[in-house]
Amino acid sequence: MRVSTEEQARFGYSIEAQKKSCIEYAQKLEYAVADVFADEGESATAANRPKFMEMLDQCESGDIEAVIVWQTDRFARNTIDHFMVKDRLKKAGTRLISVIQPMLDETPEGNLMDTVLAGINTFYSEDLSRKTKKGLIQKWEEGWWPGWAPLGYSNVKDEQGRSIVIIDPVKGSIVKEGLELFSTGNYTINSLQEWFYHQGLQSRTGKVLQFSVVHGMLRNPFYYGLMRLNGMEKMGNHPPLIKKTTHDLNQYILAKHRSFLIRQRKHDFLLRGFAFCADCGLRYTAEWHKIKPFNHNHKVAYYHCAKRGGCKSAYVKVEELEAQVEKEIQKLEFSQEFIDLVTKKAKEVFEGQRGNIDQEKQKLLNQRQALEIRRNKLEDVLLDNTIDRDTFKRKHLELQAKINALETKIYDLEQKRQVDITFIEEILGLTRDIHRTYKEAPAFLKRHYLRFFFEKFLVRNKKIIKVGCSPIFATLQKEHKIIIRTNWLRWQDSNLQPSP
């Protein structure tokens, strides 16, 4: 037994209706019912339906005289699967009986009818699939999403009975706020997962949304209105949850995560890979320790040498060592000459991009104005009663569609300008105030800034005693592009093994 749509249930094809018919027919044939198998919502084109396979296994392992189905199209809609499964039942000594098709017996006539009906079922399934695809394409062309709506939206019926997508009255506002929070740069995907969970946006089992789900939400252009399907793109009729600016900023932040190659950890300590033991030269690791007496809610994190068997190097609290690193950052500043050079280059790049954007935008504005003039003239012709309504409606819709498309392109250009200035702002912020930019940066950006300036920090007795510079930093210092204020702990050759 199988039911796959609400319409089938309404017209008497429900699981309960099929079950009742099959049991009554078994009693009529004086069979004792051994078990009942039903795959709800499963397609008959799939031969590996869970309950279906369980039924076959029971037939092949037990003394089952017959399998009773309501109709053979409930059994399979693929000719090959139909006869392969029927052959398996026959080898197991099990007959296939249909409630409303009693003519399908083991006589030559019955086998002929079975073959014909199996072919008809296959044709029906393939024809239904073709019509369904055609309906989906038609829905797409009308500007409506033809599938299940993403998280934050709901599939509903409008007044005309059409399936459309609207913003979910509860989840929509949570998704919107979450996507906008990520665009600030102060969240990782992991922290956004936790935020969604505490806002009540959870998986079906009540757990935190999976990493891939949240990542897909951040990547999905559907939330600003753009639909993508099988290589096609189209602005949809559904209301957007966020602006394209927000989406673009999220792509920028996601790109940073990828380019910095920072693997997300449950506890991602800032100085992993940077802090080294000055006594044995091994990397420091970090972990949480529970405060005694035992209490789940009170823990302290420590950095320590990773040497197996122990090392005389003392444990140091995470916040204490990271505070020392921040002090080293505070000693750095770029020379005014270097700041002026970066500012000049940034200005040249931005003005070039802005000039290109303004030029392209003016072209689009001119095109839109020309179309609006044509639309106004067409409306005047309608008022003068010198054009029929059908011709007016067709031409007016065409012109309005072209105007809307141009407005979308103009909007996209404005968003590109906003993204460009965001990049420039971050670059200038770092060059003008290294310490403040580092201090205000989220953890993943702090690691990137550390990698730009440093290779390692040597630690002894809970103190940083030496600092290894990155090749980029060394070059900038050599060319006097960076200024070190005082008490610098750097050793000249970062490849030199420090001595205890």
pLDDT at 479: 78
Q: What does the pLDDT average to over 53-82?
A: 79
The model's pLDDT over 326-342, given as tens digits with 9 standing for 90+, comes to 988 888 888 888 888 87
The 10s digit of each residue's pLDDT in 356-395 is: 788 888 988 999 899 999 988 888 888 888 888 888 888 8
Pairwise pLDDT comparison (55 vs 118), residue with the higher score:
55
Query: pLDDT tens digit string along 100-137?
Result: 777 667 766 666 666 776 666 666 666 656 665 666 67
CB count within 10 Å of CB 179 equals: 23
Tell me which of 31-40, 230-239, 341-350 is least confident: 341-350
Q: Are 470 and 451 in contact (CB under 8 A)?
A: yes
Q: What is the pTM of this model?
A: 0.38
